[in-house]
Each structure stands twice: as C-alpha cells, then as structure tokens.
Structure 1
Amino acid sequence: MAKAYWVATYRSVSNPEALAAYAKLSGPAIMAAGGRILVRGMPVHLYEEGLQQRTVVIEFDSVEQARAAHDSPAYQEALAALAGGAERDIRIVEGV
C-alpha cells in the first residue's frame, strides 16, 4: 500500500490569531490520526514560477488514513477555529 501525502498551501492568511488557534488544535489531531508532519513553513528558495506561500506536507500510511484524519471530529474542531482566517489549498496525493 502506498503512503499518502497531505499537501497544504496557504494563499493568504487574513487572521493570524485564527491560524494560531488552528495550529494548536490541528497538530495533535493529525498526529493522533497517524499523520507525521514532514514540512511546515515558508519556502527558503523559489524556482520557475514558485509562490512564496506557507506549505505543509504530512505523511500518512494510506489515502484512507489521510482522509479519515481530515474528516475526524478533532480536525474538524481545528478547522472551525480557522474559519475564514486563511485561504488554502489542501490535496491528498498518493506516494509512488
């Protein structure tokens, strides 16, 4: 079974306090669901048409585990804390 990666990029953050509240809840929720945070932060260098956006990469043992983490009550509570505080793009991709 291939690992899965949850990739989040932040287009904008309009409420840093909401992002901080989200981060406080989301990390423990994701780790409790089996996620391992591999990358979190701003790019240190950009190539081609890269964007200066906060990026997070989380590894899971499977797509199903990643989806379950996102849909879990604990992560949904974190999302509620973020509500309207950031514009993001989240994708789950399967490893090779």
Structure 2
Amino acid sequence: MKKGYWVIAWKSITDPAAVERYIAPGTEAILAHGGRILAGGVPARAYEQGASSRLVVVEFDSLQSAITAYESADYQASLVTLVGAAERDVRIIEGLG
C-alpha cells in the first residue's frame, strides 16, 4: 500500500505565540493517528519561485489515513489556535511506491 503525506507550507505567521500553542496538541493529534513527522524547518535553499517559509512533511501508512487524520476532530480542534494567527498551504498526496 502506498503511503500518504501531508506537505505543509507556512505562508505567514502573524502571531507566533498562537503557533506555539498549536504545536503540542497538533503534534499529539498527528501522532495519535499514526503520523510521523519526517521533516520540518526553513528551506536551506528555495528555487523556482519557492518561498523561504517553514515547511513540514508528515508521513502516514496510507493516503486514507492521512486524510482521516487531517479531518479528525482532535486535529481540527488544534487548528483553532491558528485562525487569524497563521496562513498555511496544506496538501495531502499519495506516495510513489
């Protein structure tokens, strides 16, 4: 079965304290749904109109488990702290192999 991935690009952060409040419950929800945070941070380089904003990659055992985790009540509850505090581009994709 192919794995599923969240690819999260933080476009802007206007309230860093709110982002800090999101991290613990957001991470807990990700882990509770079988997610593994593979990478996170500011890119070492950005090419082809890429932004130098924070990126996070999370792996799940399947595409469906990635979707289910994002749509779960506990993860959605963690996102409340980000309203008005940050803009993100979140995409869920299926692995190649």
Scaled to the shorter chain, the TM-score interval is: over 0.9
Give 2:65's aligned residue: 65
- SS of 2:9's equivalent in the other structure is strand
| Cα distance in 2 between the residues matched to 1:49 and 1:80 | 30
Listed one character per residue, the Cα deviations across residues 54-73 of structure 1 (whole Å, up to 9, x for unaligned) are 10000001111011111112
Give 1:75's aligned residue: 75
Listed one character per residue, the Cα deviations across residues 18-72 of structure 1 (whole Å, up to 9, x for unaligned) are 1111112100110110000001111112233221011000000111101111111
Question: Which sections of structure 1, spanning at least 5 residues, go unmatched?
Answer: none
Give 1:32's aligned residue: 32
| Cα distance in 1 between the residues matched to 2:47 and 2:71 | 34
Q: 1:84: Cα distance to partner? A: 1.5
Q: What is the total number of aligned residue pairs between the two structures? A: 96
**TM-score scaled to structure 1, two decimals?**
0.94
**TM-score scaled to structure 2, two decimals?**
0.93
| Cα distance in 1 between the residues matched to 2:27 and 2:11 | 20
| Structure-to-structure mapping, 1:4-19, within 5 angstroms | 4-19=4-19
Moved over 6 A (4+): none
| Cα distance in 2 between the residues matched to 1:4 and 1:66 | 5
